[in-house]
Amino acid sequence: MLSRLLQVSALLILTTEIGCMTAPPKAPFAAKTKKHLEKHGHVRVDNFFWLKNREDKNVISYLEQENEYTDSILKPYQALQNQIFEELKSRVIEDESSFPVQRAGYEYYSKFIPGKQYPVYLRKNLKDGQETTLIDVNKDSEGQSYYESSGPVISHDHNLMAYAFDNQGRRFYTIQVKDLRTQELLPIKIEKAKANIIWSKDNRYFFYTKSDLETLRTYQVYRYDIQNKTSTLVMEEKDEAFEVFIYQNLAKNYIFTVANSTLTTEIKYLDAGTPTAEFKTFLKREKEHEYEVYDGGDRFYIRSNWNAPNYRLFEALPGKIAKKDWKEVMPHKTDYYLEDVTVFKDYIVAGLKHDGLDQILVRNRHDNKEYSIPFSDKAYTAESDAQSEYTSKTYRFVFESMRQPEQTFDFNLETKNKELKKERVIPNFMPAKYKTDRIWITARDGRKVPVSLLMKADHNNDGKAPVLTYGYGSYGMAMTPYFSQSVFSLIDRGFVYAIIHVRGGSELGRHWYDDGRTTHKMNTFNDYIDATEELSNLKIVDGKSVYAMGGSAGGLLMGAIMNIRPDLFKGIVAQVPFVDVLTTMLDDSIPLTTGEYDEWGNPNEKKFYDYILQYSPYDNVKKASYPHLLVTTGLHDSQVQYWEPAKWVARLRESNTSNSLILLKTDMESGHGGSSGRYEKLKEKAVEFTFILSTKDL
């Protein structure tokens, strides 16, 4: 009864501090200023284009008004929000630590201190047991409203540590170096860099990357000289469709640079022992050829989609790396997707996807014999964790399911013995209270779409349970059935949680990605809608209590399904949503543009313009009875700019024919990832869940 009264009060009345009854809060009014956008003879009118200027005080004022409105709507539910926050906090392991990784006589690990927001990075000398603090992010973040640390990047002799921090949220980092022998910071401060750092073997140099300050495209590689305190540009990617990053494998003989677009790769390599030499090209870029090179000590291994949509593995000897000299090691399989590779001195460990589930394959480098690590759960995730050293016979992986918290295993590659090294024991949580399932639904074009489900153990398919559905479906990123300790606050209240593995990810192989991008993007939205309807038809859930959640490109998914089937959903949470697709993809001065043409299509070409126009959420807002909507964004978001969700909310408000809530919450301090502290993130999640629960009976 009290819950219902609170719901009514949210829509009808607010009480002032002196107890007077006032009118319900009014949503902020966004002024209209017509902006005509013309392309291919087609004109779009954008009345809210002016919100793009974050330097305009009127824009900031409007965002602050939206925050005040959202707070006022949710204020009657403050007790519920506090309760959910306490539930989320109660499942936090206050003194959580990572299991140590051994390297060169040291153990490296991190831990949280009870009550603190950020981790502390440490190492222990195995000879004398002395523990040293490498980075205390809590101390470094004092006085900062946002703070993100890369963690330590240790030199080969283990005497120096580079690390990077971002105190704004736009993913521009400052790099510093500490001498671990004296615990003193060196007089080095490299600003506006990325948190992508690799040391040379002689410990005198490290390599790092930088991004364009306007487009945010990472395009430069620098070498820093510790002795001379100078940076030298060693590589610059001119093609605006490509971004650059650097990496190194366990053998540490080479440093690799990758120029990467959505569908094309070019890798250069450098002997880590000759850091001042020039990078050499491994294989020149070929359109739609994606490959990755691994340092195998005495040879290279190459994961490539050359005539192999699901990838295959090759090897090549130094000095004979032309494609004609590649020797196939693992052939292409139509039903297995080769996702990643870890190369040890004696073994290769491959991460695969089969029917949307993780598989781990081990191959002996000497006799070429193979075997798989067995898993039996219906829906789970098994992924490589931090490895120790190239010569190790132990492979570390993390296993989890939607009801099983992470378990860290060390697997002996010779004996095949598996040892549980660490299990996250979540406070106030019992896995036996819940169950998981995995079903396949048939989409409208006949394709089978997997859905991973989490629910209470006593759940019955009686069509009475509310549901939170979740999806992403872009960039070939697989949404694995992972453990989310926050979602149990909904499960305990009778919800079913469903991850819908729509096309656009790579859960079922490369074709699953290709069938959900560019001119096949509508499959992503149709899959989600069809799966949602089938959950109701099967009476797994109540079709009148369906909620959906997605972030970034998953937020685009939320916007599209809301326009196509506004009647299907009770409420939607769109986190940092990419919703103004057409305008953004026509503006090559901002992120998510030139490097994304292979993902969305280039709207400078009419066929892609017309296709994107079909689904771009902002462009397809119409007179309709929209579901309840909570939209979140960050003022400093470097991936999806804040103005996209802000404009979207303004247009939705003027078009919505129902009295549903349409709320915008802007974090004025953070970027794409939201708040940086672990408790601050829980507060954000508590707001989202409060919104869902408060609208359930409206």
Token pair listed for 307: 């005539």
The pLDDT value recorded for residue 17 is 32
**What percentage of the chain carries pLDDT values higher than 70?**
95
- Residue 408 is given by DSSP the state E
Return the residue matching tokens 């050359």.
Answer: 306
Contact 609/40 with Cβ under 8 angstroms? yes
Whether residue 21 has pLDDT greater than 80: no
Please confirm, yes or no, whether 552 is among the known catalytic residues.
yes
* pLDDT tens digits for range 153-194: 999 999 999 999 998 877 899 999 999 999 999 999 999 999
- Assess whether pLDDT exceeds 60 at residue 671: no
pLDDT at residue 13 above 60? Answer: no
Provide the 10 A C-beta neighbour count for residue 555: 28
User: CB neighbours of 411 closer than 8 A, spacing ≥ 6?
Assistant: 373, 394, 395, 396, 397, 417, 418, 419
Catalytic residue among 552, 616, 638, 694: 552
User: 391 exposed, middle or buried (CB, 10 Å; 0-12, 13-18, 19+)?
Assistant: exposed
Q: Quick one: average pLDDT of 119-137? A: 96
The answer to whether the beta carbons of residues 395 and 414 sit under 8 Å apart is no
- For 504, the 3-state DSSP assignment is coil
3 state DSSP class of 567: helix
Tell me whether residue 670 is one of the annotated catalytic residues.
no
pLDDT digits over 327-356, tens only?
999 999 999 999 999 999 999 999 999 999
The DSSP call for residue 30 is: P
Mean pLDDT of 413-436: 95
473: left (phi over 0), alpha (psi -120 to 50) or beta: left
Token pair in block for residue 100: 């140590």
475 exposed, middle or buried (CB, 10 Å; 0-12, 13-18, 19+)? middle
Looking at 637, 638, 675, 694, which residue is catalytic? Answer: 637
The verdict on whether 155 is a catalytic residue reads no
Q: Where are the domains of the chain?
A: 2-90+429-695, 324-425
Q: What is the mean pLDDT of residues 212-231?
A: 94
Alpha helix positions (H), 77-234: 78-90, 137-140
For the segment 354-407, what is each residue's pLDDT rounded down to a tens digit? 999 999 999 999 999 999 999 978 889 999 999 999 999 999 999 999 999 999
What is the phi/psi pair of residue 566, to 5°? -65, -25
pLDDT value of position 591: 61
CATH number for 2-90+429-695 (one of 3.30.70.3270, 3.90.230.10, 3.40.640.10, 3.40.50.1820): it is: 3.40.50.1820
| Token duo for residue 664 | 């915008």
Contact indicator for 49, 35 with CB cutoff of 8 Å:
yes
| 525: three-class secondary structure by DSSP | helix
Give, in order, the Cα–Cα distances in Å from 624 to each of 525, 546, 592: 18, 18, 29
**Which residue from 156, 152, 157 is spatially nearest to 137, judged by alpha carbons?**
152
Q: 20 falls in which pLDDT band (50, 70, 90)?
A: very low
Catalytic residue (choose from 489, 580, 672, 676):
672
426-472: per-residue pLDDT in tens?
998 999 999 999 999 999 999 999 999 999 999 999 999 999 999 99
